[in-house]
Amino acid sequence: MCILIIGLFISRPKLINEQTHVAASPAVIPTLFLHGYKGSERSFSTMLERMEQQNWGTKTLVCFVHKNGRVSIRGTLPKNVENPFIQVIFENNRAQLSDQTKWLQEIMKQLKERYYIEEINVVGHSMGGLALTNYIQSTENQDGYPKVQNLITIGSPFLGIDQKGYFERNYGKALIDLKPNSQALNKLSHHRTSFPDDIQVLSIAGVVEDPLTGDGLVSLESALANRNLINSDQFTGKVVTSITATHSGLHEIEVVDQLIANFLWENIDE
């Protein structure tokens, strides 16, 4: 018993040090990356690898949401990482916007409670940008979550996807929300006054050939339509015109990496 008690006293300081090691410094602002409809870990993996090679930051945490909504977080958040990257993966990657928003709320709550994250940047591809926008609207001025500083959307269809064939080829409840004039998209517009006026927004759109078809799936107008949800001085729109600027290719090209880096960690070249 004496040996056990002595051992507990010896090990206790070590446990406390390990806990503080994974707690974010108040000056650290992590950046969270969320994939879109049918997305997976691969959706942002190569972008994050390229950013690490540029020494722009380090992937530290992976938040995995199981189909039942349970959140598992893998990794640590060392204090010496200047720009920590957090990747979010939904096992049910065809879920409706309302479910994705609930999962984001749980993730953000845990990031604040377990890792002491007070501020955060968020990046979403396609439907991920819609989910993050809905999350921000639904948690306005609530203290239980990290404060979002910047939002970046990449090819996010704020006016829906205007391709009938797309809905015939795919399945899942998410398709209900991705149709033009869906209830979920109209709700984003209806609650535009709930979007805080101190969050800066960058929307990146792709144009392969024609603005009407945009990145091949989301039109230029749809990808930049969130400018109607916020004040004009909060919004920055960037258009990438290239044969590689396809919907699934937008997060695979270096020019998009640079746009994100300039917006979050440097001054934007106007």
Contact 200, 207 (CB under 8 A): no
Does 137 fall in a domain?
yes
Q: Is 125 exposed, middle or buried, given 0-12, 13-18 or 19+ CB atoms closer than 10 A? A: buried
Averaged pLDDT score across all residues of the chain: 90
For residue 19, what pLDDT is reported?
36
pLDDT at residue 267 is higher than 80: no
pLDDT at residue 270 is higher than 60: no
Does 16 fall in a domain?
no
Does 20 fall in a domain?
no
Domain hosting residue 216, numbered range = 27-265
Does 103 fall in a domain?
yes
Count the domains in the chain: 1
The model's pLDDT over 50-94, given as tens digits with 9 standing for 90+, comes to 999 999 999 999 999 999 999 999 999 988 898 999 999 999 999
C-alpha 99: how far from chain center? 15
Does 6 fall in a domain?
no
Task: Specify which residues 154 forms β-bridges with.
Answer: 125, 204
Element (H, E) at 162: none
For residue 269, what pLDDT is reported?
43
Mean pLDDT value across residues 100-129: 97
Does 127 fall in a domain?
yes
Does 258 fall in a domain?
yes
Does 19 fall in a domain?
no
Mean pLDDT value across residues 10-22: 36
Mean pLDDT value across residues 206-229: 97
Nearest to 155 by CA among 178, 134, 176: 178
Mean pLDDT value across residues 205-221: 97
Q: Between these two residues, 8 and 47, which has the higher pLDDT value?
A: 47
Mean pLDDT value across residues 217-242: 98
CA dihedral 164, 170, 172, 176 (to 10 degrees): -10
Taking the CB of residue 189, how many other CB atoms lie within 10 A of it?
A: 13
Contact 159, 180 (CB under 8 A): yes
Q: Name the E strands within the chain.
A: 31-34, 58-65, 71-75, 84-90, 119-125, 147-154, 200-207, 235-241
SS3 95: coil
Q: What is the CATH number of the domain that holds 144?
A: 3.40.50.1820
Amino acid residing at 207: V
Mean pLDDT value across residues 176-201: 97
Distances (CA, A) of 62 to 65, 88, 116, 207: 10, 6, 16, 31
CA 232 – CA 128 distance, rounded (Å): 22
Give me the percent of the chain exceeding a pLDDT of 70.
89
Longest dimension (CA), the chain: 77
Q: 110: number of CA atoms within 13 Å, CB side?
A: 17
pLDDT at residue 14 is higher than 60: no
